[in-house]
Structure 1
Amino acid sequence: MKSIINSIKLIFLLTFILSCNLFSQNIPYTILISFDGFRWDYTSRGITPNFDYIEKHGVKALSLKPSFPSITFPNHISIVTGMYPQNHGVIANTMFDPVTNKIYSLRDTSEVRNAYWYKGEMIWETARRQGVISASYFWPGSEMNIEYRRPTYYEKYEHNRDYVERINGVINWLKLPYNKRPKFITLYYDLTDSEGHKYGPNSPQVNAAIAKLDSLIGILFNKLDEIKLRDSVNVIIVSDHGMTEISKNRYVNVEEIASCSSCKFFNRGAVMNIFIKNKSEIDEVFSKLKQNENHYRVYKPENIPTNFHFNNNHLIGDLFILAEPGWSVGTSKDKDKMDDYNGGNHGFDNSFIDMHGIFYAIGPSFKVNYKTGTIENINIYPLLCRILNIIPKQNIDGKLENISFILKEKEKQP
């Protein structure tokens, strides 16, 4: 009897997936664009006519709240998995695994592509399992070393790749024969993040970056018009986090305070993870850091505030440091590097408004001239699943009901 029931379940699932595939011929294309470090209020500076157009003809959220910590890789993965960093596994741009002694760093191509670190299922994996073609013109996690965990088509990250060339790559995918054409595509730009770190969020250089990225939206729209797909494409523009001003004069040397020979310090700036080889020293080091707690907070993982959803992962370390917004924590060696990061930073408390990013959307699936309040980035994955008419993973933290109201009524139902 049990085998008959399992067979019926399998037939039902296959039938459902087949129906999804047939329906996918009618679903719109969706391009998800990330403007790294694009703060929630950058579009209020009077230099973003294309964002203004989307606001009038699509959806604009007051802000996009990042997951904690408000760092690049963790939040890009949260956006495409619907999971908090502690659950999808990428809790920082640099991570130390005390079980394997491996170190993950965004500058280490081998580890960035190592599927071991990625515990969540990305949207392109979900789509691929259900017969929907996807593509990525850059996105953290899209280059994994396991073929079936990657998008159908993808580009290996090249930091200096020409910005318009990236758009041309997306357009070329949309010009493929219909049965080979991706329904979902990601696109990534670093400019506002890079300039924000160097010069600060209120600098002329960041204003120039904002204007340049806005112009790319216009270029994309024009090229979609040229291939006569503009009305069939959803364009969603997000950012992973915001940016706030920092100063090398607002610096706390955690290594000096901890005075611990068996400590390993990972990450710097807004957050720091401390691993202590001699576990008997944890309480002593914690006590030192607690007694000198000024412009930062020190936590044992189990005591990290619950609203951060960040206390249940062995990669967090034995102790965790969170800097006060605008301040930096680090080691003696890190302080010497502060001149390179004396403009702006992120990674702070994700409720701090400067850490919030943007959410704009326009296209056949979205309401017109619709404004909403703050959206959490973990809700984007189930939204994408609804648009693509695929079944989301069930272990996610995001909820469709927290975001589906931005869709046109006919798009809300599967």
Structure 2
Amino acid sequence: MGTMRRLCFVLMVLSLAALVSSFPDRHTKDTHHNTRNQLLYILLDGFRWDYVDKQPASSLPGFTRFLQEGGRARWTTPLFPSVSYPTWTSLVTGRHAESHGIVGNYFYDPEDKDVFSLFDNDATGKAKWWTSEPVWTTAEKAGLRTAQFLWARCDVPIDGVTTTFCEPFVKIPGKRIFQQNIGRALDKLSEGFDLVQVYTEHTDYTGHTKGPESPEMTQTVRDLDDVILYLLNELRNRNLEDQVNIIIVSDHGMTSIGPDVTTYHEIDNYLDTSLVENIADQGAFMNIKVPQQNVDKVYEQVSKIPGVKAYRREDVPQQFHYQHHKYIHEIILSADKGQYLLASRSGKQVPERTDLVFSGRGAHGYRPDDEEMRGIFFAKGPDFKCGWTLDPIHVVDIYQVLTHTLAVTPQPHNGTWTHVEGALAQDGWRDGCSRTSTAAAAPTPGLATFLLFVSLALFRHTGPRRYVI
């Protein structure tokens, strides 16, 4: 009867396991948690924190499904200044502008009499500007393969290291290029690339030209939603759904401008430009290089501009993290929402003055406490919980999520781990997720009960026995 006894024991173990596995719960064990999953990192330029919430869920099935299967931060607090190039750099380094040195879309190096200028590829491509290691360099150093589509200056070597594949930023708005690059990104993921990054300026372009509250913006968000839905379906079709994490972010929001809602200020009406060396940027923000002997006089002049805060560099609020870099100059101007600083007509202005602003309907660059400057952080995948919502995070917090999911050691950064850890699966357990297909295939309670009944009956029949080991 020893064989029968062992059979009873096996049946009892199997039946109890079947019972336990059939109990409903809110946790799914991530079977990939001991391996590195792939990461798709998407940057939606100018995508304001409330764009998804302003439309019914039925109009945005892609974003709706994405957030149900993953989650979001309520919003991201933007960088100061809330403009593109500094924030793009923060999104891949986790550092504030004063730390990584890309302090504006336009800025001036007084030592070399040199300028960084947003749409000048030769200017922005100089190695001297790029002193902080981006996540793709860290990943490549760790032996991972990375690819970027329209991501700023992914082509600049850092410590002699370049990405495996890079198409750097050029201005190409629209839905078509975004969907095309998402398709190419999926191909890279199918090839086994570890980190793939995709940038689109579709919302930023529409926000600037038509305004954030326009019907055109409503359609633009739906355009992006179409592409997100395509992405989710393709991941499933390619059997990549359980091995690819997706993080979707934006760099800043957008506010309405125009003659009906905005007061425009000619900087030349207030500032004697003979007293300054350089004036960088315009609109919501200016960074002015002033010889030391002229600082007090210039500060007195620009302090008279209505609706514009003038700061000496040392007086910039600490929470802006915008004091300690050689490219941050003596006088900083920060406009209130509803105010706009027009560029100087002098030869000291970067970029050179144009009057295209008068046809614009949207702007950004305003202070981080302006809610219309807030951005997004959405994420889903095998390393994330489902249905989560984080309290607001800062844009510099996102970097450490990238390095965590890629399982690489982060570089020094300004992010706070406790701000983001609530989104991540803990020890492989994904709170809030439905059971996987493997779990769903476990024996049903009816079968489990039958097995347990048979094993108990056999146990009673054989009776207790003693075994000598």
Give 1:149 shift. Answer: 4.1
1:6 maps to what in 2? none
Give 1:115 shift. Answer: 2.1
Partners of 2:153 and 2:168 within 8 A in 1: no
Identity rate, percent: 29
2:289 to 269, 275, 284: 275
Cα distance in 2 for residues equivalent to 1:411 and 1:123: 23
1:340 to 359, 377, 401: 359
Mean Cα deviation higher: 34-43 or 325-334: 325-334
Cα distance in 2 for residues equivalent to 1:69 and 1:259: 24
Alignment pair present for 1:406 and 2:423: yes
- Aligned ranges for residues 1-400 of structure 1 at < 5 Å? 26-44=35-53, 45-46=55-56, 47-145=59-157, 148-160=160-172, 162-176=177-191, 181-248=192-259, 249-263=262-276, 264-276=278-290, 278-290=291-303, 292-333=304-345, 334=353, 336-341=355-360, 343-393=361-411, 395-400=412-417
Cα distance in 2 for residues equivalent to 1:256 and 1:149: 48
Cα distance in 2 for residues equivalent to 1:336 and 1:124: 38
Query: TM-score, with normalisation over the residues of structure 1?
Result: 0.88
Partners of 1:296 and 1:322 within 8 A in 2: yes
1:8 maps to what in 2? none
Secondary structure of the structure 2 residue equivalent to 1:315: coil
Cα distance in 1 for residues equivalent to 2:62 and 2:128: 39
Partners of 1:298 and 1:319 within 8 A in 2: yes
Partners of 2:33 and 2:383 within 8 A in 1: no
2:24 maps to what in 1? none
Give 1:330 shift. Answer: 2.4
Letter in 2 for 1:403: V
Give 1:214 shift. Answer: 1.1
Partners of 1:137 and 1:155 within 8 A in 2: yes
1:14 maps to what in 2? none
Cα distance in 1 for residues equivalent to 2:388 and 2:369: 24
Cα distance in 2 for residues equivalent to 1:150 and 1:295: 45
How many residue pairs align between the two structures? 382
Structure with larger Rg? 2
Mean Cα deviation higher: 225-234 or 297-306: 225-234
2:446 maps to what in 1? none
Cα distance in 2 for residues equivalent to 1:52 and 1:327: 35
In 2 relative to 1, CA 131–335 (structure 1 residues): closer, same or farther, beyond 3 Å?
closer
Cα distance in 1 for residues equivalent to 2:275 and 2:302: 15
Secondary structure of the structure 2 residue equivalent to 1:43: coil
Give 1:308 shift. Answer: 0.3
Deviation track 1:145-178 (CA, whole Å, cap 9, x = no partner) reads: 55844322111334337222211211221232xx
Cα distance in 2 for residues equivalent to 1:220 and 1:340: 35
Letter in 1 for 2:231: L
In structure 1, list runs of 5 or more residues that go unmatched: 1-22
Give 1:326 shift. Answer: 2.5
Query: TM-score, with normalisation over the residues of structure 2?
Result: 0.78
Give 1:135 shift. Answer: 1.4
Secondary structure of the structure 2 residue equivalent to 1:135: strand
Cα distance in 2 for residues equivalent to 1:25 and 1:112: 40
1:11 maps to what in 2? none
Cα distance in 2 for residues equivalent to 1:94 and 1:411: 44
2:441 maps to what in 1? none
Cα distance in 1 for residues equivalent to 2:170 and 2:302: 40
Partners of 1:267 and 1:330 within 8 A in 2: no
Cα distance in 1 for residues equivalent to 2:112 and 2:167: 29
In structure 2, list runs of 5 or more residues that go unmatched: 1-31, 346-352, 430-469
Cα distance in 1 for residues equivalent to 2:95 and 2:168: 24
Secondary structure of the structure 2 residue equivalent to 1:351: coil
Give 1:332 shift. Answer: 4.8
Cα distance in 1 for residues equivalent to 2:240 and 2:354: 51
- The structure richer in helix per residue is 1
In 2 relative to 1, CA 156–308 (structure 1 residues): closer, same or farther, beyond 3 Å?
closer
Secondary structure of the structure 2 residue equivalent to 1:41: coil
